[in-house]
Amino acid sequence: MKLKETGVLTTADLKEMGRYPSEERMKKGPVAVAECVQDIPCNPCETSCPFKAIHVGENISNLPNVNVDVCNGCTTCVAACSGLAIFVLDKSYSDSVGKVSFPYEYGHSFKVNDVVKAADRSGKNVCDGKILKITNTQKADKTTIITLEVPIEWVDEVRSIYRDRQQQLVKEVLSEKLGDDVMVCRCEEITAGEIRAAIRQGATDITGVKLRTRAGMGLCQGRTCEALVNQIIRQELGNSPEEIGFSTPRTPQRPVTFGTLGGDLDE
């Protein structure tokens, strides 16, 4: 499975596990796909489905199974899934385009008919898509459901809207400075005050702060704290995003077990 090698689930992985709807079913109309592949105690998808199309069972650590013959793609489970791992796919829309519905919990100003960049499971921009529907209901507990029209060949891959990191950093600069005692890097327990001390010592970019404090060198490899470090540098020095840069990606980007690294070698 590619998931074990890269940390990113693929359509091929789901098909290999028998957890993906057939082409024939998707061409009949919208259907949910539960891209949940870990034994996590969780069953809101089962309890929320008004048509009883999802079964988890008494042991709530079981993987959810979608009865594609009962599911009508209503998207109730999409908003209910706390792991944001359920999507609704529809290849019956036309011969050239299909629909993908997914949860979206970022702040946004999207409108119906907007053309956006569609992203795959890894967050990579793969095609353009047109927003057909934006659903916000009280029952969804603030989880927005967006339905995109995308080229039919991308229905199996598109799972969100692409977020340009640099554009987001420009828009999300904090209006007020974080207190010096606020924990910025949780993995290495580095505070905002320590980040500012590193800047006073000469750090002018992400790498400089990282070398002086270890911020971004923990388990998450900066996925949690890098944006905050970027914001603090901009507030202190006024540097542009281009000057601050990003930390250097290093493999593996997600935790990998020794068993995976060792392959099928005997002990």
What's the whole-model pTM score?
Answer: 0.64
Which pair of tokens denotes residue 259?
């068993």
Neighbours of 254 (CB within 10 A): 13
The residue ranges of the chain whose pLDDT is under 70 are: 1, 140-141, 165-176, 249-256, 264-267
The CATH fold assigned to 177-244 is Arc Repressor Mutant, subunit A (1.10.10)
Give the integer Cα–Cα distance in Å for 55 and 43: 9
Q: Under DSSP, is residue 66 helix (H, G, I), strand (E, B) or coil?
A: strand
Cα separation, 159 vs 155, in Å, equals: 8
DSSP 102-159: EEE-S-----TT-EEEEE-TTS-EEEEEEEEEEE--GGGTT-EEEEEEEEGGGTTT--
- Write the pLDDT tens digit of every residue in 188-197: 999 999 999 9
Please report, for the chain, the start and end positions of each structural domain, with discontinuous segments joined by +: 2-162, 177-244
Under DSSP, is residue 62 helix (H, G, I), strand (E, B) or coil? coil
CA–CA separation, 51 vs 32, rounded Å? 12
Q: How far apart are CA 151 and CA 16, in angstroms?
A: 24
Q: Where are the alpha helices (DSSP H) in the chain?
A: 2-6, 11-16, 23-26, 44-48, 76-80, 165-171, 192-200, 206-213, 226-237, 241-244, 258-262
Report d(CA 115, CA 125) in Å as an integer: 13
